[in-house]
Amino acid sequence: MIEIERKFIVKNQSFKEEIHTKSIVFQGYLSSNPERTVRVRIKNEKGYLTIKGISNESGTSRYEWEKEIPLVEAKELFKLCEKGAITKTRYEIPFGNHTYEVDEFYGDNEGLIIAEIELSSENEKFDKPNWLGDEVTGEQRYYNSNLIILPFKEW
């Protein structure tokens, strides 16, 4: 239940030549408190409820609990969410021994493209594709819960 993840800016759109799967994602927050964010997500007609704890000092690791819930329940929970929502396309791209999840944001976060890679340890080595830019792991403004509060277009 500990998520170990690194985040990067995507510097160009060449990643789209390597896409394995593509999903449309809508998400809102029942709580954006950094100590325990509670997220409702609809991804390709499936609902999810996710709770995340506060990140460690490097921003690489944090507690995460996620459960698939019925789509109708996810839609109902959206009615209780804080103001704002995230809309994005998530692309999954296998590279080396890992799969990158690349999020292309829309709405107030249009123009922001972030790649994430989940690792089994904080020191795990991984291959970096040429479209990967600067690392932003631990930079809280890139957290989805913060992109609702201070969207990319306002930076």
Q: Which residues are catalytic?
A: 29
Find all residues with CB under 8 Å of 135, minimum gap 6, and list them: 6, 7, 8
Among residues 3, 18, 26, the alpha carbon closest in space to that of 127 is found at 18
CA distance 77 to 42: 11
Torsion sign across C-alpha atoms 101, 150, 148, 87: negative
CA distance 93 to 2: 22
